[in-house]
A and B are shown apart, each in its own frame.
Chain A
């Protein structure tokens, strides 16, 4: 995967950062909770009966920390599930889109070379870049893309792209 594709392929970047921060919070809060629980247990063992208020306070803090821990874990779980859902939907959509594209290409009767060029056009490469990637002369690629547009019955790149956009935006029913 090339670097310019990465931001497109990873829409979950912000969510993943959020998940990492939540995980850190859980670990740190877990350590804090342990500290207070340990302190309460130590106080109980030492039998500081006259410090009831102190004990209640610390016990309360420990309880709140534990509840907070539960909430954070729940949140992290929800977040991870959402990331999973988004990526699996995206994967499904990507698979279907690939089929739609294949269908169009087959309808138009593109040659294998034209298919490859057409895919690169869809991915946003200009003719010069396509020529570099494929190791062909710029003129060859220009001729191929002209053939593609002619077969697809469009005027040029923008209309060609809009064919696929239309397919995505159209109502399913």
Chain B
């Protein structure tokens, strides 16, 4: 619960990720994992899981409009200059903590969503009569997949790095929904 006295050092547990955010996050992660490693790319299962992932992303995007504050677009607007500022602050060794995504993480979120949407769109197109066997669609699908893998690696690396840098267990926060934060480091 928000504001539970967490014991030492004035650390507080703050509720940031609601259950729908967590479910869609891990659902998409599972779907991507299964579709990239386990299913036959030409099979029906691959297609169905792809649709499922698309549904989860669309659901999450809807939640970005109607959901609670930390889940909304307004909590993490795509802002490259803020991301650069965050990068500079990081290099200066500042260790401020953000309640929602940090500006750099926010860019990654949008990147992941756009990539997933592109992947779904080209995937669906490949199944239609008009675009069946069209080379560029297939190439875009594969390029988007490659980019998704790069992004996922960066995403996981970024989370681990930020966890080490700020001492906030981010991965745990995506499971329990709560961020454990030193009160004095709090910044939006």
Task: Give me the interface of B with A, judged by CB distance under 8 Å.
Answer: 1-7, 15, 18-20, 22-24, 27, 51-52, 54-56, 58-59, 62-63, 66-68
Contact = CB atoms under 8 A, between A and B. Distances in A.
Contact of A87 (B2, B59, B62): B2
Nearest to A92: B3
B6 A1 contact: yes
B68 A84 contact: yes
A81 B20 CA distance: 14
Contact of B15 (A20, A26, A30, A84): A84
A46 to B, nearest CB: 10
Given A19-B19, A27-B20, A74 B59 contact: no
Given A20-B19, A24-B23, A76-B20, A9 B55 contact: no
A18 to B, nearest CB: 10
Contact of A88 (B3, B4, B62, B68): B3
Interface of A: 1, 9-10, 12, 16, 19-20, 22-24, 26-27, 30-31, 33-35, 38, 73-74, 76-77, 80-81, 83-84, 87-88, 90-91
Interface of A (DSSP majority class)? helix
Contacts of B23: 23-24, 27
7 nearest A-B pairs in the assembled complex, by CB-CB distance: A23-B19, A34-B55, A23-B20, A91-B3, A20-B19, A87-B2, A30-B59
Given A1-B7, A31-B52, A26 B20 contact: yes
B18 A80 contact: yes
Nearest to A9: B4
A126 to B, nearest CB: 23
A141 to B, nearest CB: 23
B4 A10 contact: yes
Contacts of A73: 20, 62-63, 66-67
B23 to A, nearest CB: 5
A27 B66 contact: no
Contact of A10 (B1, B58, B68): B1
Nearest to A32: B55
Given A31-B55, A73-B62, A77-B66, A87 B19 contact: no
A33 B54 CA distance: 12
A139 B59 CA distance: 63
Given A16-B19, A30-B58, 9 more contacts: A20-B19, A24-B23, A30-B55, A30-B56, A34-B51, A76-B18, A84-B68, A87-B15, A90-B3
A26 B62 CA distance: 12
Contacts of B7: 1
A12 B20 contact: no
A69 to B, nearest CB: 8
29 contacts: A1-B4, A1-B6, A1-B7, A12-B1, A16-B19, A23-B19, A23-B22, A23-B23, A24-B19, A27-B23, A30-B58, A30-B59, A34-B51, A34-B52, A34-B54, A38-B51, A73-B20, A73-B62, A73-B63, A73-B66, A76-B18, A76-B19, A77-B66, A77-B67, A80-B18, A80-B68, A84-B15, A87-B1, A87-B3
Contacts of B59: 26-27, 30
A30 B24 CA distance: 11
B3 A22 contact: no
Contacts of B4: 1, 9-10
Nearest to B67: A77
